[in-house]
Amino acid sequence: MSEGFFSRGFRGRRKPSDVAGRLPPGQYLERGFPVLSAGPTPHTPLERWDFSIAGQVHEPKRWTWQELLALPHETPTVDISCVTKWTKFDTHWEGVSLETLLGQVDYDPTVARYVIAFSDGGYTTNLPLADVLGGQAWVAFSYEGQPLSPEHGGPARLLVPHLYFWKSAKWVRGLRLVDHDEPGFWESLGYHNYGDPWKEERYQGD
């Protein structure tokens, strides 16, 4: 609607081409790690913590903290993009892939086509099943070589770096497999249902 418009006197800070090419549209490069959450930080003791997969599965499965840690770890290095405009390059994580976790559950992928991640504090987010398989998503418990801090979602958060970071649910406690898509917390509050940063899918209708 604003063809030809420019902001009088604005020059901006051009990014080097190697940075610009790696930044999704509308994002800027952040060196810190901003914290965004809608409510108080939950503090669930590890001895009471578990991760479960339920819903459209033949038998629900749950892992204690120790059982989760005993599964094969992966150490993804990824760029992450928050819908609030910041992108951080080369973040180092350690966690268990959802491929590994879902591999221990008996379900029909032609039926359970979506997952709802749920967290302590009541947060939820929805993802297509196909987006959490194939080494695209993890339950991460370590960031930059340290246990994940509570403000950043510790003891464990989802890590789905190819989507805006609200999909990487903090304080995650499990997945519910469902046969139909249902919007999660932010997806019900005007944010995009899928959230691809490269298509700038920030809000409903983008």
Partner 1 sequence: MERRTLPGRLSWQLGEVLATQAETARTKSIRLSLPTGMGHRAGQHVDVRLTAEDGYQAERSYSIASPPEETPHVTLTVERLDDGEVSPYLTEELRAGDKLELRGPIGGYFVWEARMGGPLLLVAGGSGIVPLMAMLRHRAAVGSSVATRLLYSSRSYQDVIYRDELERLGKSSTMLEVVQTLTRVHPPGWTGYARRIDTQMLREVAWPLEQHPLMFICGPTPFVETAATSLVALGHDPARIKTERFGPTGEA
| Closest CB 53 distance from partner 1, rounded Å | 23
* Residue 21 is a binding residue for partner 1 (CB under 8 A): no
* Residue 193 is a binding residue for partner 1 (CB under 8 A): no
| Closest CB 95 distance from partner 1, rounded Å | 18
Number of residues binding to partner 1, judged by CB under 8 A: 45
Strands (E), the chain: 28-29, 50-55, 61-64, 77-81, 86-97, 114-119, 124-128, 138-143, 146-147, 157-159, 172-178
| CA-closest candidate to residue 196, choices 172, 175, 166, 170 | 166
* Residue 205 is a binding residue for partner 1 (CB under 8 A): yes
* Residue 52 is a binding residue for partner 1 (CB under 8 A): no
Which of 24, 33, 50, 64 contacts partner 1 by CB under 8 A? 33
With residues binned 3-state (H G I as helix, E B as strand, rest as coil), the percentages for the chain, rounded to 5, are: 15, 30, 55
Which range of residues in 103-111, 127-135, 155-163, 181-189 is near partner 1 by CB under 8 A?
181-189
Which of 16, 21, 40, 145 contacts partner 1 by CB under 8 A? 40
Residues numbered 111 to 130 that lie near partner 1 (CB under 8 A) are: 121-123
189-192: long-range pairs with CB below 8 Å, 24+? 191/83, 191/164, 191/166, 192/164
Residue 113: half-sphere exposure toward Cβ, Cα within 13 Å: 6
| Closest CB 191 distance from partner 1, rounded Å | 8
CB 172 within 8 A of CB 153: yes
Alpha-carbon distance of 22 to 47, in angstroms, equals 40
Identity of the residue, 11 or 58, whose beta carbon is nearer to partner 1 in the bound complex: 11
Residues numbered 59 to 78 that lie near partner 1 (CB under 8 A) are: none
| CA-closest candidate to residue 132, choices 110, 159, 169, 105 | 159
Residues that bind partner 1 (CB under 8 A): 1-2, 5-14, 26, 28, 30-42, 84-86, 121-123, 149, 151, 185-186, 188-190, 202-206
